[in-house]
Structures are given as C-alpha cells and as structure tokens.
Amino acid sequence: MSESIKKFMFVNTKAPYGTVYALESLEVVLISAAFDQDVSLVFCDDGVFQISNNQNTEASGMKNFSNAYKALGDYDINKLYVEKESLEERGLTLDNIMDLTYEDEDWAEKPSIKLVTRAELADLMDEQDVVISS
Amino acid sequence: MSESIKKFMFVNTKAPYGTVYALESLEVVLISAAFDQDVSLVFCDDGVFQISNNQNTEASGMKNFSNAYKALGDYDINKLYVEKESLEERGLTLDNIMDLTYEDEDWAEKPSIKLVTRAELADLMDEQDVVISS
Amino acid sequence: MKFTLLINEGPYQHQASDTAYQFAKAALEKGHEIYRVFFYNDGVNNATRLAIPPQDDRNITENWAALGKEHELDMVVCIAAAQRRGMLDADEAGRQGKDADNIHPAFRISGLGQLVEGGIQADRLLTFGD
Amino acid sequence: MKFTLLINEGPYQHQASDTAYQFAKAALEKGHEIYRVFFYNDGVNNATRLAIPPQDDRNITENWAALGKEHELDMVVCIAAAQRRGMLDADEAGRQGKDADNIHPAFRISGLGQLVEGGIQADRLLTFGD
Amino acid sequence: MAMLHTVNKSPFERNSLNSCLTKSKEGSSILLIEDAVVGALKGTKVADDLTAAIANKNVYVLGSDLNTRGFTEADILDGIKTVDYAGFVDLVAEHSNVQSWL
Amino acid sequence: MAMLHTVNKSPFERNSLNSCLTKSKEGSSILLIEDAVVGALKGTKVADDLTAAIANKNVYVLGSDLNTRGFTEADILDGIKTVDYAGFVDLVAEHSNVQSWL
C-alpha cells in the first residue's frame, strides 16, 4: 500500500444525545489525529446540533461531551464544514454554533468552522478517499 | 385491579427485516392471545410492508416470519387495521397485502383485515387502554 | 397510579433507557408506583453486569440496579429477546450449556407474558424506544 | 481489491450486520480481500459467544465466526465501545475484576486506531449502520 | 380524557412527528422528548406544522432535553409549554392513555 | 471515477434518501439497500424524486432486499437497475469511493 496521506471525512448527520453516534464518532476523529491523515469533519442535517452552543446536560443526566469539540484544534483538526442549508432549515445561524478555533503556524487564532453550501459540500465529499458517516 | 378486559392495540409503523421490531412485536401479539384481552393490530406508515404478499428471504438470509401473521386468526386475533393513506402513499393497494382471515363462530371464513382512513384510525387509537407502538 | 415501563433499546446507543430511568425516578418521587420495568428488543442489553463505562459517564445498569433496590422494582428481561442477543443468567447458562453468564442480579429473566400482564395490571403502559 | 468493513449495529435489531456479512461473502467469492471487519457502536454486540437464537433463525455471530475462520478474517471489536456495553474477553475481565467474559474467540479486542488504519490500508471502507 | 402522545425523534430526520400530528385528535396532547425537542425551535421548516398543531392540541417539550441540546424556552415557538420530568409524569397521569410514536 | 452512495432506510420513514439525493453529484450512483428498497416502488409519493434522480444519476436497488419485502423488478420504477450482492461488490469496486447515508 502507498504511504501517501489519505483524505478522511467524518460526516455527522445526527443530533447528539438521542443516539450515541455523535459521541462515538468524535472518539474516532480524535484517534485519527495520531495517523497524520488529511482529516475533515462535516456537520449537516441534524449533525449541526452536535456543535450548538450552551449544551447543558445537568437535568437529563447525559454525559456532556461538547467541550471535546474545542480540543479538535489542538489536534490539528481544523477543517470543520457546516452546511448552510441545514442551519437555515432548522432556524439556526452561525451564532448558535460553538466558536471553534485553532492556532496556525504563527500562533494566530483562526476559525475552524467553514460555512459551505450543499453544492460545495457535494464537491468536498466527492474528493475524499474515506468517508465515515453517522 | 379490575378483572375487566382491556383494549390492547399494537401499532406497527416500521418496515420488516431492516429492523427487528416487526418480528418481535408479532411475538408479543401471539403471547397476548393467552390473556383473553381485546387485542387489535394496526399497520400504518411503513408498517404496511410487514404484511405484503410474496415475501421471499432466500437470497438475503433473513428469517421469513410472514407466515406467522396467517396464524393470528387461529388465536382469535382478527382485528387488523390497515391505514388507507399509508397504502396510497406507497403505491400499494389491498392486492399487495396478504389475505388474512379467521373463522367466525359458524366456521365461516371472514377477512381479518379492515381498511381504515387516518381519521378512523385516530378514533380507534383514542379508545384503547394500552397502545404498544414500534 | 401504577405504571409499567417498556424499554426497547440498549444502553448508550439510544437515549431510551436514560429517559425511562429519569421518568421512573420522577414518578416514584411523586408517590406513584412502578408496577414493572420490562426490557425488550435490544433493551435486554441494559441488564449486563459486565459493562465498564468511562469514569466520567453515567453507569446505566448500576443506576437501574440502585433504583430497583431502593424501591423494590420488578425489572424483567424478556427471555426470548435475551437469548437472541447473548444475555443469560446462571440458570439459563447451565441449561443451555454456555460457559458464562452476564445478567446483573437486580434483573430477572422471564417471558413476554410479563409484559402483557404488566399492561393489564398497570394504569398506564409507557414505551421507550428508538 | 482490499475492503475494510465498519459495522455499527448489533445483531438482529438491525439488518446492518447481515448486510455486511452477505457483502463480505460475495466480495470474497469474487476474489477480493477483506482487510478488516471493525465492530463499533452497538456493532460490538455481534461478538458475543453467549447468544442462543431460535433454531429456525440464522446465528449471526456463528456466521461471522465461520466466515472469519475460512478466510482468516481480522475481526476487531472496539475496546471502548465494548467496555461501555459489557463485551469483554478473558484478559479484559481479569484486568477489570469482572467475574465473566463473553467474547467469541473468532474476534479480537483492540483500539479505535485499528479502524483508522483499516481505512488507510484498504482501497475502500464501507460503513453498515442504522 | 384525551390522549398523550410522545415523539422522540427529530422531525428533520424522521417522519414520526408528522405521523403523530396527522393521527392524533383535536384536544389531545403531544410531548416532544429526546431529539424531537429540536422540532419546537422557532423559524424551522416544520414551524408551520407545529403552529397549526398548537391551535387545537396541547404541545409540550421536555425542558431537560432542550437544555441538553443547547436551547432554552426562549428559543421555542410561542404556545409550546416546557415541562420537567415531574411534569412529564403528571401529563401521563392526567391523560387517558399514552402512545409513543416511534 | 464517480462516487457510490448507499441508502438503507425507507424514504417514508427517514430523511436520508433526500439527503443523499440533494448532496450527491451528477453522474454518481445510488444503491438502495435494506428498508430503502421500498423507495424504488412505482407510484409512491417519492417516485417523482427518484425519477428526477434517474435523469442524471445511476440508481440501483439490491434485489434480495426487494424480494425479502415482497417485491420484484416488475414493481420498481423504470430506469432503476436491480443488482445482487455480487453486483453490490462490483459497484463498490468500480466507483472511486463509497458513502453510506445513515
């Protein structure tokens, strides 16, 4: 097998907490950082709720794992694509989404989140080597 | 507790085989016959596919349990409501549905399946004591 | 009022068991009775005594077990659904010639009739599923 | 061509494991290689050796085990997902102080890195889920 | 007494809220729990369906599940009431029966 | 080479077929498996969406899953091709990548 870098895309389409997919997908993403691949994340459909602000699980007893998304930048995972149409259909804007950032090579803080249209997303998906959806 | 008979309704909303709910719900229905309650079944939404004709699992390796619906009449479970709108939305008619029957007290063979409208179904659900959906 | 709860999904994968647990706790705090908690479909997987969830997460089975102990809940695992999915108690394992068992002692294995009977005896039967 | 298969649902409740099994069988018959089968989420429950499905139904775990033996498949159960759900092998049970274990010997427990590595090494990674 | 209906899945992902809305009677109550709570948000593509439902049914949302997903009462449609688990229990007790739309 | 997309849930129950149709590119292929096969039937409320997709994408259905649910090739929309598991394997091998819409 070639030792070249592969493009891995994790596509998150489901709301968090109602099912475990958001949490366990994030666990794969964090592990993938150790493999020096070209990793990107997509939040579309109900996946946009995974990175909504102010998640508070106190009264539900669920494990709040939303802070772990903030660690992605430290792992050099900084290509997080949010689908514009998915936000709109849910009455959301980028103000509802966590302010996720990373530090570039000059230690400047940059936004990790890129708003993309559905058509742009289709192009991005088309150029991946591995797509893991949930 | 009162010893009076309760109205039990099993509401089947999901296609068979893709998930286990159809099969395991049918197992509850068959057991319920032993309790002399007033049992009825509903097939609505994708639940109508549970009783479609000619199910053939040979090439998929799934367990074909469709014949068990034919046994319902022998257990005196003969109120099977199929939602008309659900059939229409799926391009189906009663011709696609198994011909399920029971024998009445005079040994005459009668149809177990009753086609009901969405509004009639809402009325039927409203008068139940126990509704178990899947 | 008497409630019977039906839980159709396993732990962690779906919120169903968590919701049912929070509902049961709230109902008991309000003085209602939980006549039975019936675990069906993948819900039988809630009864494993072998789970080791991360330290910072809830332990769903132990939560049920503790609530069950405090309120003497009748927590029933469907035998047919359990056999399909590899959930066994020691008796079953012995009968079936299996070399291990995994059901937590807070739960008991029984037949589907217990679900129907739970529906008959309780004032309300609630389903928690996917 | 080399395939890695990812299975995210448990046996019987969802068709995912059946579909993946049929796909694997067909791929092997066509001369392709299955680089790895990775069981994640509730998919870990496919690895139980304690299941007793009805006589007239398929035995999903034994089907995988037989296919795995015939083709020397690398069938990996994610350790983190397995711990959450009470799936353990004898080593894990010993380390964690659990009094039983339930993983079929045809499967091995390992970390999530095996999934990523499976994606890197294979020509195609396919996901079977809910 | 009228029926209580519970819905637990997002209306953007599944059809179960729609099934519930079209098969529940006037005067009945609907409680959104788990992922279904996002259906109660303002300005969504299902907001009109919910607003129509509020006109002749009682619609509730489980507050803890709303908070868990990052939202509060301020984010949901006018006319939808928030309840906690104790309120969920009361709703079940006060209605003639409960049906889960799965 | 174009992508292969798989969909495994009924379009009457879930939104995943719609997500796939709106986020897949012209010239790509879509394979309906498991409960999604019912989306290929003639005369359904999603038939227009599928017919539109057939115009610029290749749509396939897994025959064994269709048979399992009581239907055959005669019941599905013109332009949708039936494949068996060997054909499923070929589709995966022939396309540049595969994405499962869950």
Query: What does the pLDDT average to over C96-118?
Result: 98
Contact E36, C16 (CB under 8 A): no
If one counts the domains in chain C, the total is 1
Number of neighbours of residue C89 by Cβ within 10 angstroms: 20
Residues with Cβ within 8 Å of residue E63, at least 6 apart in sequence: A59, E73, E82, E83, E84
Whether the full predicted model's pTM is greater than 0.95, yes or no, is yes
Please state, for a pLDDT cut of 90, what percent of chain D lies above it: 100
- Average pLDDT, integer, range C123-130: 98
Give me the phi and psi of B77, to 5 degrees please: -105, 100
Name the closest residue on chain E to residue A47, using Cα atoms. Answer: E13
Tens-place pLDDT, residues D13-68: 999 999 999 999 999 999 999 999 999 999 999 999 999 999 999 999 999 999 99
Mean pLDDT on A40-54: 98
B1 occurs within a structural domain: no
Q: Which of D2, D112, D121 sits opposite A31 (nearest CB)?
A: D112
ipTM of the shown complex: 0.97
Q: What domain range includes position F8?
A: 4-101
The nearest CA of chain A is from the CA of D121 a distance in Å of 6
Overall residue count recorded for chain A in this entry: 134
Residue F43 sits at the chain B interface (C-beta within 8 Å):
yes
CATH of the domain at C8: 3.40.1260.10
> Which residues of chain E are within 8 Å of residue A14 when distances are taken between CB atoms?
13, 35
Domain count, chain F: 1
Residue B117 buriedness (CB in 10 A; 0-12 / 13-18 / 19+): exposed
Q: Read off the pLDDT band of F1 (50, 70, 90).
A: confident
- In this prediction, residue B3 has a pLDDT band, given cuts at 50, 70 and 90, of low
Chain D residues contacting F via beta carbons under 8 Å: 1, 3, 8, 15-16, 19, 22-23, 25-27, 29-30, 32, 124-130
Comparing CB atoms, the residue among D51, D80, D93 nearest residue C85 is D51
- Catalytic residue chosen out of the listed positions D47, D78, D82, D122: D78
E99 with B122: Cβ contact below 8 A: no
Q: Can you tell me the distance from the alpha carbon of A14 to that of D130, in angstroms, rounded to the nearest whole number? A: 11
Whether A49 and chain C come into contact, CB under 8 Å, resolves to: no
**Is residue D77 within 8 Å of residue D108, measured between CB atoms?**
yes
Taking only the tens place, the pLDDT of each residue in C70-80 is: 999 999 999 99
Does residue A60 lie in a domain region?
A: yes
Nearest CB neighbour to A91, from listed E8, E42, E64: E42
Instruction: Give which of D8, D9, D18 to mutate to test B binding, by max B Cβ within 10 Å.
Output: D18
- Chain C residue numbers with beta carbons less than 8 Å from the beta carbon of A61 are 18, 21-22, 58
Strand order in the sheet with B130-133: B113-116, B80-83, B38-43, B7-12, B130-133
CATH of the domain at A76: 3.40.1260.10
- Average pLDDT, integer, range E33-55: 98
Cross-chain residue pair F102–D124, CB shorter than 8 Å: no
Q: What's the CATH number where F81 sits?
A: 3.40.1260.10
CA-atom Rg of chain A in angstroms: 15
Residue A53 structural domain: 7-133
Residue A104 lies inside a defined structural domain of this protein: yes
Asked if D120 has any chain A CB less than 8 Å from its own CB, the reply is yes
Give the distance from residue D88's alpha carbon to the nearest chain F alpha carbon, in angstroms.
Answer: 28
Residue E24, pLDDT > 60, answer yes
In a domain, A1, yes or no: no
Question: Could you tell me if F52 lies within 8 Å of chain D, comparing CB atoms?
Answer: no
Catalytically active residues of C are: 78
Binding partners of B (≥3 Cβ pairs within 8 A): C, D, E, F
Chain E interface includes F22 (CB < 8 A): no
Look at residue C88 and give its three-state secondary structure: coil
pLDDT digits (tens, 9 = 90+) for C31-43: 999 999 999 999 9
**Which tens digits make up the pLDDT trace of A74-122?**
999 999 999 999 999 999 999 999 999 999 999 999 999 999 999 999 9
pLDDT of residue A2 exceeding 70: no
pLDDT at B1 over 50: no
Evaluate whether residue B32 is within a structural domain. yes
Task: Tell me how close the Cα of E88 comes to any Cα of chain B, in angstroms.
Answer: 18
